[in-house]
Structure 1
Amino acid sequence: MSALTVRAGLGHRGARFDVALGDGEVLAVLGPNGAGKSTLLGMIAGLLRPDDGTVTLGDRTLVDTAAGVFVPPHDRGVALLSQQALLFPHLTAAANVAFAPRSRGMSRAQSREIAAHWLRQVDAEDLAARRPSQLSGGQAQRIAIARALAAEPRLLLLDEPMAALDVAVAPTLRRLLRRVLREQARTAVIVTHDLLDALALADRVIVVEAGVVVESGTVREVLTHPRSAFAARIAGVNLLAGTATSPDGLETPWGAAVSGIGSGAEAGSPAVALFRPAAVSVHADRPHASPRNVFAVTVSELEAHGAAVRVRAEDNPDGSVGPAADVTPAAAAELDLAPGHRVWFAVKAQEVTVHPARAARNQ
């Protein structure tokens, strides 16, 4: 069994994690730069020693600060794959993959057989005799995956494995990882900035901000009903946080009232309002018609978004990410939109959903 639990903190990094992952599940870890994603991987891999707490893998305790238990990295049954392949430059691809079984005491013949198996699994048999200097970035990453799996890890950690690859190569490697993880029922944790990685590889998602888990759930739950600004941004929806004034309304920290369709928020409790940029209309003057939600904003940037122009507002008064609106190029020209211009965003109440804010919790 390879179920994982992390309930540990690292004080000087302001990190405290409470994460659980079932045997054979794949967890995607999302969050902005500096949020603590790599700190989580480091504690699991044994590269960082928590100040307090426990880390367990299956029935084995890897860390228990109260009991003085700290299993060293090489003895954890955990393999870490990073952005860079980090292959041994003096060894062939086959010898790189055979390194782990040889390190476990297997014979040369057994190690070569295992290496050949994993090279087949990653569609890299024809690369066996090449040295790392003769491999492209995508080819080297294939060999790195084979080398990691040849170690027979109980847990696979992937730290931005596609980040350094060409955009034309990443989809192929993503499909390869999906096939290997699914067919082998591997327990894995993948840190990524790419929504496609989460969609293609993960069963569940956590969002990390400032060293804590602020959101967790299935991929579908997090991306269709985000509760954090980061998840909302990658899911392509607007999120305004505040305090519920009723089941279908909230007030932001800067006093803006938002009305929508209620989804279980209780008055006085933290809540979030979600709405699509396409549901937002943009006006040069305050509209006096039907929309119940009208916000004065300052344009921060304009960008192409398919056939539309996405109008992003400056950050909200509390520092959170400002809302965005999608308008036609003709509307953008007619309104003479440009960074620094003051405009009004309006959205109808039926286009807004108000949800309870999901507190950080273990999943």
Structure 2
Amino acid sequence: MLRYISIIILLFFGCSNNSENTAKRIIPGANQINKYLPLLQNKKVGLTVNHSSIVGFTHLTDTLINLGVNVVKVFTPEHGFTGTVSDGAKVEYDSTEASFELISLYGENKKPTIDQLEGLEMMVFDIQDVGTRFYTYISTMHYVMEACAENAIPLIILDRPNPNGSYVDGPVLDTALRSFVGMHPIPIVHGLTIGELVKMINGEGWLKNGVICDLTVIAMKNWDHQMPYSLPVKPSPNLPDDLSISLYPTLCLFEGTIMSVGRGTDYAFQQIGHPEYPDTTYSFTPISREGAKWPPYEDQKCYGRSWIGEEPTYSFSLQPLIDAYRKMNRDDFFNNYFNRLAGTNSLQKQIEEGQSEEEIRASWEPELSAFKEKRKKYLLYK
């Protein structure tokens, strides 16, 4: 298994296209082994990791085992240990590794159970996030925090850069719409690293029954919120590069509509389309493939709009959604998933009423400003 981990890393490394010099300056939490290794020695350790949990070119699991750490259980989020399982698909493991048990937190349960945590004396969380409320790795993190707090297990967070960490934008979640794609009253783009977000979750009492997790955050060195960062490993199957990651906050809302976001192509989250889109200038055809089994409109030609080849622009916009709604002019444009992604019941209504982006933004500005002020006390970086 450990050899397989190394192969996976070599396959995924190379997603980075412009961050070689930046990556040399930034030191993620995982790379600062001297800061957390003493906390793990002589302990039974659990890891919450996936393919992005790397130290140099080596997986964190390999690194710690080679250093003599007693890793007994490894927990994985959506997309599984290798990061190749399709969106929304349950991940199940039916074997026990020679040295540790592999447990999915996207199968029968999303929160570690008492039985799954039995015997653990320390938990480590190290997964690359992309800085949006609906990206489910932070929901897994929430449940790991909660389970650790309830079972008196200290949790170490190994912090990594947020590629969308330079800004904060979007409506703040209405907690009546709380789900696995939105668990916290934060905007769509929250502008926090994993390490900063766990501090906010603890500090604001967002865990069940107000429990507090015993946290240690290993902060990065030489990174700030205005620093561009190109991920060395694609964080999930359908975010292949910097452009998809930068467009994700804007285009993910289309997953709550009849439109395709390009799953089943090489350019997911760089294009949108539908078989009946009225502008036929641009087209693509989704196919079933690893990481995108049975995508919407499989084997059908979709017409729409492309951002392929553009430079990443780290910002959030409603205009593509508004434009597509007006061009499609269909009563069934939105589906039941949209409000959960948006985090509010208002956005769909505002678009259907014909409001402009400026008018819609004005409606969420008071809550967004309040969040920005609250966020300041949890920042670890400028």
TM over 0.5, yes or no?
A: no
More strand by share: 1
More helix by share: 2
TM-score scaled by length of structure 2: 0.27
